[in-house]
Amino acid sequence: MKKIFSYLGLISFMIFSFYFTEKIAILAQSKDPLLEQIRTYSDNKTNYVNAIIKDDTIIPGLNGSELDEIKSLMNMKKAGSFSESFLIYKSILPEISLKDNLDKTIIKGNPSKQAISLVLEYNKDLIKYLTTNNIPFSVLTTLSNYSENNKYEMINYEEEDNYKTLDKLLDKNNSNTNICLKNSYCSNYKYLVQVTHNLSKNNLITIKNSITSGDIILVSTNTRSEDLAILIQQIRSQNLNIMPLSKLISEDY
């Protein structure tokens, strides 16, 4: 019985010592000149934006952020001086988040990003045009057009029989977006996405006049390079950015 009390006493002492040491460390940090400088940036925070859910669809929200004082202090202690570039911020998840609603279909990126995404059916000429002009894009990828050397974002677009094979290749090379287009074959735990517009050689004018922030534009394989160029010109005239689909639907800014 005495041994039990001795062990309990030792454990209690250790817990109290750890708690007391931590409090001393926090008190010491609070008087650190670097920490005082860091705290002048504490108002530099961003409020989160909740996802918008309607029936079975969702428009992703946006993470907020706030200054992480302790990590910023540790970062600057390593550097030995204060610099705004050493400040570290931590994310604040929305109360209503895409991560908690993976059963919903994503119909747009968050409009606050002021961006759209181009998703290509595989077409070498269009890929070359976008790559040459440094325009980000995503490509519906199959085993027949997959390569480890592809510089663009790839979305698994295989049939059921070959889907897992391509998924393993994408995983192996850390290039799996885990995105799946609606009405194509999808496995579990994917972000299910529905395109906003389907650009082809016959509907440029219609789409050109209806682009809004957050749109996901599927570029059909029969689209002409000159039509895609006109569409991109329109996108830029509206001060919209172009980004890969995974970035558009992400809740990070």
Total domains in the chain come to 2
Q: Give Cα 183 distance to the centre of its chain.
A: 23
User: Is residue 88 domain-shared with residue 180, that is, in the same domain?
Assistant: no
For residue 237, give the nearest of 85, 123, 60, 116 by alpha carbon.
116
Show the domain range for 237: 107-249
pLDDT over 90 at 253, yes or no: no
Give the pLDDT confidence of 112-168 residue by residue, as tens digits.
999 999 999 999 999 999 999 999 999 999 999 999 989 999 999 999 999 999 999
Give the pLDDT confidence of 5-59 residue by residue, as tens digits.
454 455 554 555 555 445 445 544 567 788 888 889 888 889 999 999 999 999 9
What pLDDT was estimated at residue 25?
Answer: 52
User: Is residue 148 domain-shared with residue 193, that is, in the same domain?
Assistant: yes
One-letter identity of residue 147 = S
Q: Does residue 102 form part of some domain? A: no
Give the pLDDT confidence of 175-227 residue by residue, as tens digits.
999 999 999 999 888 999 999 999 998 999 999 999 999 999 999 999 999 99
Task: Point out the domain boundary residue: 71, 96, 121.
Answer: 96
What pLDDT was estimated at residue 127?
Answer: 97
User: Is residue 114 domain-shared with residue 213, that is, in the same domain?
Assistant: yes
What pLDDT was estimated at residue 2?
Answer: 47
User: Is residue 127 domain-shared with residue 219, that is, in the same domain?
Assistant: yes
CB-CB contact of 216 with 109 (8 Å): yes
What pLDDT was estimated at residue 9?
Answer: 52
User: Is residue 230 domain-shared with residue 118, that is, in the same domain?
Assistant: yes
What pLDDT was estimated at residue 79?
Answer: 81
Which CATH number goes with the domain that contains 149? 3.20.20.370
User: Is residue 37 domain-shared with residue 131, that is, in the same domain?
Assistant: no
State whether the Cα torsion 237-241-245-251 is positive or negative: negative
Give the pLDDT confidence of 45-104 residue by residue, as tens digits.
899 999 999 999 999 999 999 999 888 888 888 888 888 889 999 999 999 999 999 999
What pLDDT was estimated at residue 189?
Answer: 85
